[in-house]
A and B are shown apart, each in its own frame.
Chain A
Amino acid sequence: MKWCKTTSLPERRRLLACLVVLGIVLFHPLPSHAYAGPGAGFAVLSSFWTLFVAFFYSVYAFFAWPFRQVFRLLRRRKAYGKAQIKRAVILGFDGMDPELTERFIAEGKLPNLASLRERGTFRKLQTTFPPISPVAWSTFMTGVNPGKHNIYDFLARDLTNYLPYLSSAEIKGPKRSWKIGRYTIPLGGPRIKGMRRGTPFWHWLGEAGIFCSVIRVPVTFPPEKFAGVLLSGMCVPDLKGSQGTFCLCTTRPRGEKFREGGVRVPIERNGSSFSSYVPGPENPLTAGSGGEMRVKFEIHSDNRNQARFTVDSQSFTLKVGDYSEWIPLKFKAGVGFNAHGICRFYLKELSPNVEVYVTPVNIDPGKPDLPISHPVTYSIYLAKLFGPYATLGLAEDTWALNEEVLDDQAFLAQCYANHDDRERMLFDALEKTQQGLCACVFDTTDRVQHMFWRYFDEDHPAARDVPRDQRPSVIQDLYSRMDKLIGRVMKQIDDKTLLMVVSDHGFKSFARCVNLNAWLHQNGYLALKPGKTESGDWFDDVDWSRTRAYTMGLNGLYLNLKGREREGIIKPGADADALKDELRHKLDGLVDPASGHAGITGVFDCDSVYAGPYVDNAPDLIVGYGNGFRASWDSVMGKVTSQIFEDNLKAWSGDHCVDPRLVPGVLFCNRKISDEKPAIVDVAPTVLKLFGLALPGHLDGKPWTVAPSTTP
């Protein structure tokens, strides 16, 4: 987005003429100066008040600063006293794969990473069980295994009804409300409860007086208080409360429902123009009755390639294939009850049909209706500084590409627009955090690999009809782009700064789907109601009274345990252990008959991989899929099908929810690290140690031995 506007020569001449006139009028030595009147008054009041505020605040800050220092000393917060580093910069590249990285380094495509490896360290970074972003990043920030932070997947299951819920945060309506007829007046804001346990290491740093800037690290919603600034990342919902619901507005007759992630909205023709709407959250005043708030918009087609959009009082023009900037939307529920969101419009087609894709409505960072940063003003600060930006946890709309609502180019444009915003935030944080911790996670690496692996794979079923010489080199370009970013960061840091580049996991092809529920059904562990050969989503038609095991989510397998699940039948203890052993032995090495490859290369007992107070919430077994395999789309959604193995034909063609041993992450550091098998759980204790802090006793990770600075 360009903020600066260049002026042409005629404009400059006009401006000069205006200046001369104003000069004559204003600088003529007469009492008429006062007649500048309210026009100048606006300018003066609107601008100089900031100077007044800044002045008074500076006076306050100046006098308060010694007291704050004394206060710190009194609380024994002597920061940096034993620190080995002045600053730690951690760049998280979600899903950066060590094998690919090595390959591209060898090809000379990643000079900055090659330099880091040469001067410092490059290692594979052991990931978590399972190797899923919310799990791994939770471990990254807390330094503990999932048994202590309670995140095992994106989803967790409700033991009372076998239905899923988001594992990281729970959002409920206000505690109290006032019912008047059919209206419900909410008394208070929504209640948000974070489900992740454990303490992020920046909390300890903040306690010690070390400032931290934390940007978009997953599972930081709701934001927790600490001495620093934080912008929440993955798991921040959209304004509807979902993890991202796009909207396809179309004049085409209604098609099939999207499997997930999107809704179709009709576009109506009104003479020469068209009208439609962006669906928003449920109206809080008529909560429960399904009333959805909407923002209407109109499309005026200028020609076959361009249209003018009018949304509320805003107007903008788009060509076919163009995205709008972020457009603020105000969903009006009633007087004083508004929800503020932002979205981008993408004009797909104008003729013969009109189709417009609308991104999920993100929480407006400038007017956040839910807290998405700590302090709340941090998201506002970033919005004021850089303009609106994506706040949704999974901001890159992979579902829209999966459903073929967006094409490759449109999806990539969206990814890199978000990425550019993130880069701006990072460099601002680097500038603002000259001492302390600066951690920023980039999701682009994960999303792009998920969606474009099909072109990278030799024989991916989703791209078999695309000749090799016509396949875009998206993943190579992505790695190269990230390398350039690292280069720019390296220019910003000195030898007292520790730079770490980490990823939470690597990547593999996702060519074949495994429906584990189908396997459980066919092998007598999961029963359907009489007469049924397949179930609906979320175990519709499953006979729980005869079901011993089931799976939902990406890697978890659950026993239907008596006393735990609502209709559990397996007795805890010996029976459960025996069943786990039986399943492990049968599933480990499960072969795909079509390819002859092992679809599952490891099944791990939660008792052996987890330890901590929340182990009871863990899946009983963690299934490690083989290279090229992953849980099928249906299996993830608790659906039993007749096929166990099938091709993955979706654009979502790469994945990491496999055997954790297959997908370690990366660790680059600008200093030598002697440990040969570092793990993501070690990052938190290492950073704490480098800043000279004592390690909390409950941490599972071990600090690495980091050599002092190696300035070339």
Chain B
Amino acid sequence: MSSPLSAPMGSLGVNLPAAIVVGISLVIGLGMVIVFRYTSDQKAIHVAKDRLKAHLLALRLFQDQIPVVLRSYGRIVLATGRYLRSAFKPLLFVIVPLIFLVVQLDRYLGSMPVELGHPFLVKARMDNPNALNEASLQLPDGLSTTAPPVHVPSEREVVWRVVAETSGEYIVNVQVSDQTFSKRVVVGACLSRLSPVRLRGKFWERIFVSGEPALPENNSIKSIAVQYPPRKIAFAGFEWNWIWLFFVLSLAAGVLFKSILGIEI
């Protein structure tokens, strides 16, 4: 599934992933401070921060009094703990939805689709190493293998090296005995929703790393993975992993909006 914005933004010379990260960071930064404002005890946070500052000032004011300085260090640690405790509840409200949002964004921004003409690996992991010989890969038109499958018994994996001849979204099938299991593969340069692995069971792991339905239970395949290259986003003269760029920009946006809105964080 490619983004409908990819083509028009690309034709305008806009770095679409960077633009998306910037936009999302601003929105998230703003939303986060507002949620923080209404889910936190602003006064308690204000007091906790003030106490921290007071103990820091004490270090300077009473610098020649070693016992006072040592006590102040201890109080700084305690005050930091109190601050974190005050910030904990609102952070829950912020972090939990943010994690799921970021997971979804990572489907689009974390990796790039397979490049045309560049070989990539399709890995099927089995329950039983004896079943490796029974696994075969069925490819649609446009994809082809470039080497015989490699069995890695220690990992219980069979690995195929595949290359794409045309861009597009493909379904590859792995057949074991009389059962067939599919996996989506995206080829090209567009901004698409990618799922690097399809898993059996493992609910939480699927939530965080997979974008496809679970493999059926009671079969011999544990996972089918496609190795997508990581995406690097050019921004401000650096190549960024999108998470770091998002981290920095949303933090900056949060600081900006908290100051404008007078919110204590």
Contact = CB atoms under 8 A, between A and B. Distances in A.
Interface stretch (B68-76, B125-133, B179-187, B225-233): B68-76
Interface stretch (B98-106, B148-156, B169-177): B98-106
A15 B89 contact: yes
Interface in A362-384: 375, 377-378, 380-384
Contact of B96 (A25, A31, A45, A61): A25
Interface string A5-20: 1000000000100100
A58 B254 CA distance: 31
Interface string B39-77: 001001001011111111111111111111100110011
Contact of B76 (A22, A54, A384): A54
Given A35-B103, A37-B250, A54-B73, A434 B67 contact: yes
Q: How many interface residues does chain B have, given as a range? A: 35 or more
A36 interface: yes
A434 B47 contact: no
28 contacts: A3-B47, A18-B92, A25-B95, A26-B95, A34-B243, A37-B99, A38-B98, A39-B98, A41-B247, A41-B251, A42-B254, A42-B265, A45-B251, A46-B87, A50-B79, A50-B80, A54-B59, A57-B56, A58-B59, A58-B69, A68-B64, A377-B57, A381-B58, A384-B53, A385-B50, A385-B51, A387-B47, A432-B68
B159 interface: no
Contacts of B256: none
Given A45-B251, A387-B47, A432 B63 contact: no
Contacts of A382: 54
Nearest to B29: A38
B251 A42 contact: yes
B94 interface: yes
Given A34-B243, A38-B251, 9 more contacts: A3-B47, A36-B99, A37-B246, A38-B29, A38-B32, A42-B265, A211-B64, A384-B57, A385-B51
Interface of B: 28-29, 32, 36, 41, 44, 47, 49-69, 72-73, 76-77, 79-80, 83-84, 87, 89, 91-92, 94-96, 98-99, 102-103, 106, 204-205, 208-209, 243, 246-247, 250-251, 254, 262, 265
Nearest to A58: B73
B243 A432 contact: no
A48 interface: yes
A32 B209 CA distance: 9
A21 B93 CA distance: 11
Pick the 5 closest A-B CB pairs, nearest first: A384-B54, A385-B54, A39-B94, A381-B57, A38-B250
Chain B contact residues: helix, strand, loop or mixed: helix
B59 A61 contact: yes
Nearest to B253: A38
Nearest to A377: B57
Given A30-B204, A34-B243, A39 B32 contact: yes
Given A34-B243, A61-B69, A5 B96 contact: no
B61 A377 contact: yes
Of A21, A22, A35, A57, most buried by chain B (CB within 10 Å of CB) is A35
Given A35-B103, A37-B95, A38-B247, A313 B53 contact: no
B61 A39 contact: no
Interface residues of A, number: 54
A177 B174 CA distance: 83
A21 B92 contact: yes
B52 A50 contact: yes
A594 interface: no
B65 A43 contact: no
A180 interface: no
A413 interface: no
Contacts of B57: 377, 380-381, 384
Contact of A57 (B44, B60, B209, B262): B60
Contacts of A21: 92, 96
Contact of A18 (B53, B87, B89): B89
Nearest to B77: A51
A358 B101 CA distance: 49
A61 B70 CA distance: 11
A35 B56 contact: no
A435 B66 CA distance: 11
B1 to A, nearest CB: 22
Contact of A384 (B51, B102, B204, B265): B51
Interface in A229-285: 229
Nearest to A15: B89
A168 B221 CA distance: 89
Contacts of B94: 39
A48 B49 CA distance: 11
Nearest to A45: B251
Of A15, A32, A380, most buried by chain B (CB within 10 Å of CB) is A32
B96 A434 contact: no
A465 to B, nearest CB: 45
